[in-house]
Amino acid sequence: MKTKERIISAALLLFNEQGEANVTTNHIAAHLGISPGNLYYHFRNKNDIIHCIFLQYRDHLRNSFTPIKGPASPAVWVHYLDAIFYVMWEFRFFYANLNDILRRDSELHSQYLAVQQELTVNLQLLLRELNRQCVLVIPDNEIDELTEVLKMLVSFWVSYQSAQSLNPQISQSVLYKGVSRILLVLKPYFHPKQGSELTQLMAHYQTLAAKPSDPFHK
Amino acid sequence: MKTKERIISAALLLFNEQGEANVTTNHIAAHLGISPGNLYYHFRNKNDIIHCIFLQYRDHLRNSFTPIKGPASPAVWVHYLDAIFYVMWEFRFFYANLNDILRRDSELHSQYLAVQQELTVNLQLLLRELNRQCVLVIPDNEIDELTEVLKMLVSFWVSYQSAQSLNPQISQSVLYKGVSRILLVLKPYFHPKQGSELTQLMAHYQTLAAKPSDPFHK
C-alpha cells in the first residue's frame, strides 16, 4: 500500500475506534510510525483526509445500492441489508458525528447532499422494482416517504444508539439491530407469498444482533 | 414572571432561534436587559439553565404521553400527534444537538435516560391499549421494536433535516412532516375499519406539513 492509502486507512481505523474529534493528524502519523511532515506532504489537514474517506463512502453507496437487474431472491435481500450494515460499520465515525462534520465543511456537505440525492433515486427505483416483481406491495404514493424513513433510520441509528447509553459501544450487534429495524419497517409491505422468506431474513439479522461482538473480519 | 422563570424562558427562545452553542449567559442577560451578575445569582452557568429547561421537557413527556383511559377517538390521535409536534418544536435546540448536549453532561444524560425509559413504557402501554381496542393490529412481539423506531424518528427528525440542507431551517412545516412520517410507519397497523379516520389524520398533518411557516402561536 502506498503511504497516501496507508494514511487514509489508518485515519479511518482511528476515527472509528476513538471518535473523529479525538484523533489529530499527529496521532495518525504516530500510529503509522511516519513523521507529521510526511503526512502533510500527502494531506493539507485532517479535513483533507476526511474528504478522501468520504469518496470511499460515496463509492460504496454508488456500487452497493444500484437497483437489481434480475429477480429478487433472498440473496438479493442479504446483499442490500449487508451493504447497509457495512456502510454503518465501516463509516461509523461519520454517522456518530454526522451533523458536526457536515456543519464545519460546506464543500463536504454539498458532496454529501449530491450523494444522498443519487442514493434516494436508487432506493426509490429499487423499491419500485420490488413492487413490480410483487415482492413488496407499497402504495405508489408512499414510496418516496418510505424511502426517506429508511434513509433516516440508517443515517441516525448510530447517533440514536449513542444517546441511549452513558457509555455507548457501537458494536456490530448494535448495527445489526439497526438492520433488523429496517426489516421491521418494510415487513408490512412484503407480499403475503414472501412470508417464509421474510421470517428467515428477520431471524438471520436478529441472530446477528443478539451475538456478542466479535472482532470484525475484514 | 419571576426573574428565574424569565431567564429560563429567554434561554429557551434564544437556544431555539440561534442554536444552543451560539448563545452564552451574557446573551441571555442582555436579551432580558439584566446584568450578568443578576443572572448568576439565579444560575451557576448555562448548563444549570439547560437542566431547568430539561425539567420542562420531562414534564411535557410525562403529562402528554400517558396511556389513554377511554376509547381511542380521532381526537385522541390528534392529542398524541400534536404532543409529538410540540415537543419537537418547543425543544428543537435540544434535538438539534442531542448527542453533544448529553455527552458533555453525564448528570443530564442520566436524567435523559430515565425519562426515555418512562416514555418507552408509556408508549408500549399506549400501543397495547390501541391494540386491545382494535384500533391498531400490531403483533405482540413487535410492539417493543416498533416503539423504538417511533422514538428514534422523533428524537432524530430535527438532526436528519439539518443534514439534508446546506442552510437548514427547522420550521414548523418540517416538523409536521416528521409527524406525517410517524403516521406512515403506523399506517400498515391500523385496523381496516379505521381506514377513513386514518386518511383524514394523514391529510390533516400533510396539510400542516405543506404550509409555509407562520409565526408560532403560543
pLDDT bin (cut points 50, 70, 90) of residue B24 is: very high
Q: Is B99 on the interface with A (CB under 8 A)?
A: yes
CB atoms within 10 A of CB B115: 17
The residues facing A190 across adjacent strands are A136
Mean pLDDT rounded to a whole number for chain B: 94
Mean pLDDT rounded to a whole number for chain A: 94
- Chosen from A57, A92, A93, A99 to mutate, greatest number of chain B CBs within 10 A: A99
Amino acid A73: pLDDT: 85
Under a CB-based contact definition with an 8 Å cutoff, are residues B151 and B183 in contact? no
| Residues B189, B86 share a domain | yes
Under a CB-based contact definition with an 8 Å cutoff, are residues B52 and B41 in contact? no
| Residues A173, A127 share a domain | yes
| Residues A91, A19 share a domain | no
| Residues A72, A30 share a domain | no
B173-181 mean pLDDT: 96
CB contact under 8 A, A184 and B157: no
Is the pLDDT at A213 greater than 80, yes or no?
Answer: no
The ipTM (two decimal places) reads: 0.92
| Residues A197, A125 share a domain | yes
Amino acid B73: pLDDT: 85
Amino acid A215: pLDDT: 52
Provide the b/e sequence for A87-118 (b: ≥16 CB within 10 Å): bbbbbbbbbbbbbebbbebeebbebbeebeee
Amino acid B15: pLDDT: 97
Under a CB-based contact definition with an 8 Å cutoff, are residues A167 and B131 in contact? no
Specify the pTM: 0.93
Nearest to B155 among A99, A163, A165 (CB): A163
Under a CB-based contact definition with an 8 Å cutoff, are residues B54 and B33 in contact? no
**Residues contacting A12, CB < 8 A, separation 6+:** A53, A56, A90, A91, A93
Under a CB-based contact definition with an 8 Å cutoff, are residues B191 and B136 in contact? yes
pLDDT bin (cut points 50, 70, 90) of residue B181 is: very high
| Residues A30, A73 share a domain | no
The CATH number assigned to the domain holding B16 equals 1.10.10.60
CB contact under 8 A, B116 and A164: yes
pLDDT bin (cut points 50, 70, 90) of residue B217 is: very low
Longest Cα–Cα distance in chain A:
61
| Residues B14, B104 share a domain | no
Higher-pLDDT residue of B102 and B217 is B102
Under a CB-based contact definition with an 8 Å cutoff, are residues B156 and A152 in contact? yes
Under a CB-based contact definition with an 8 Å cutoff, are residues B91 and B57 in contact? yes
Q: Which of A214, A140, A137, A128 is nearest to A172 (CA)?
A: A214
Amino acid B190: pLDDT: 95
A48-74 mean pLDDT: 93
Give the Cα separation of B166 and B143 in Å (integer): 36
Read off the DSSP letter of residue B138.
-
pLDDT bin (cut points 50, 70, 90) of residue A218 is: very low
Provide the b/e sequence for B142-176 (b: ≥16 CB within 10 Å): ebebbbbbbbbbbbbbbbbbbbbeeebebbbbbbb
Cα A54 from chain centre: 12
Closest-CA distance, B65 to chain A, in angstroms, reads 19
Is the pLDDT at B218 greater than 50, yes or no?
Answer: no
Q: Burial level of B113, CB count in 10 A (0-12/13-18/19+)?
A: middle
| Residues B158, B207 share a domain | yes
Sort out which chain A residues have CB atoms less than 8 A from B159's CB and list them: 98-99, 156, 159
Can you read off the three cell numbers belonging to residue A142? 408512499
| Residues A81, A63 share a domain | yes
The CATH number assigned to the domain holding A212 equals 1.10.357.10
Amino acid A214: pLDDT: 55
Domain limits for position A40: 1-44
Can you read off the three cell numbers belonging to residue A141? 404514493
Is the pLDDT at A169 greater than 90, yes or no?
Answer: no
Percent of the residues in chain A that have a pLDDT greater than 90, as a whole number: 88
A107-136 mean pLDDT: 96
Is the pLDDT at A216 greater than 70, yes or no?
Answer: no
Under a CB-based contact definition with an 8 Å cutoff, are residues B111 and B58 in contact? yes
Nearest to A184 among B146, B156, B164 (CB): B146
Under a CB-based contact definition with an 8 Å cutoff, are residues B144 and A197 in contact? no
Nearest to B156 among A100, A152, A165 (CB): A152
Q: For residue B3, is it left (φ>0), alpha (ψ between -120 and 50) or beta?
A: alpha
CA distances from B183 to A42, A59, B77, B108, B189 (A): 50, 34, 10, 30, 10
| Residues B132, B34 share a domain | no
Number of structural domains found in chain A = 2
Could you give the angle at which helices A25-32 and A3-18 cross, rounded to 10 degrees?
Answer: 120
| Residues B7, B105 share a domain | no
Can you read off the three cell numbers belonging to residue B67? 396511556
Amino acid A211: pLDDT: 86
A42-69 mean pLDDT: 95
Q: Which of B76, B74, B82, B88 is nearest to B201 (CA)?
A: B74
Under a CB-based contact definition with an 8 Å cutoff, are residues B13 and B48 in contact? no
- Chosen from A108, A152, A185, A199 to mutate, greatest number of chain B CBs within 10 A: A152
| Residues A134, A58 share a domain | yes
Sort out which chain B residues have CB atoms less than 8 A from A98's CB and list them: 159, 163
Amino acid A79: pLDDT: 93
